Structure 1
């Protein structure tokens, strides 16, 4: 995929709910986010066509996960505080990049006509269970 920040900006502005971390990023950071998102999706779904929209969705998600605060969780920090100002605690530690692919990106890959053989992601159903 050739990186196109202008198209990514337009897509993210229209289709992504939380955009601040993407819009606050400089051009070099956006390029890296798009490259890593494209590479991650291409490795995970090597047999399939990856639509640009799936890359943009994933890049926006990565921008949030790797913002200045959240990247500490990715580096294994569990909590920290700033004397008298604020404290932060993270519920989970570092994750693999493929674990951070948003469900919307997976749906976009599955919906691409070139990927007919890819099973559609299962829809979650609310059901009663007995234990």
Structure 2
């Protein structure tokens, strides 16, 4: 069963960029886990999803929906706290979640985890024919 305690343990041991996850409160962590799980269940309907894949994806979603990135998603061009910090966003640095589905943020590591558990080869990108 998915839990914040297990997610914390996995993320703090196996994910490099963990600050946004660590800074989230318990309620937000639970929402992120729920969103990660729902997204993976919908994306990979016929496959079993390992809990660790959900936790790995949750760490990515914590970054995408961090306080700073949320400001950019809402159209803020830059912020500054005098003497502390200044942030200016590049155009299209983070995709607006309202304009795309969450599965666009699934990292390759998650595809690999699901592939390994289900003994299949899943890839993040599909290669199709060009239409002319």
Moved more, 89-98 or 6-15: 89-98
**Contact in 1 for aligned 2:2/2:51 (Cα 8 Å):** no
Instruction: Supply the distance in 2 between the matched residues of 1:91 and 1:111 (Cα, whole angstroms).
Output: 37
* CA RMSD between the two structures: 2.0
Q: CA deviation at 1:90?
A: 3.3
Matches within 5 A, 1:93-108: 93-94=95-96, 95-108=100-113
TM-score normalised according to structure 1 size: 0.79
TM-score normalised according to structure 2 size: 0.78
Structure 1 gap ranges (5+): 123-131
Matches within 5 A, 1:1-131: 2-75=1-74, 77=75, 79-82=77-80, 86-92=86-92, 93-94=95-96, 95-112=100-117, 115-116=118-119, 118-121=120-123
Q: Secondary structure at the match of 2:67?
A: coil
Aligned residue pairs total 117
Instruction: Supply the distance in 2 between the matched residues of 1:47 and 1:15 (Cα, whole angstroms).
Output: 26
The 3 A distance-change label for structure 1 pair 108 and 39 is same
Structure 2 gap ranges (5+): 125-132
Q: Which deviations, in whole Å up to 9, do the C-alpha atoms of 1:41-62 show, x marking residues without a partner?
A: 0011111100001000000000
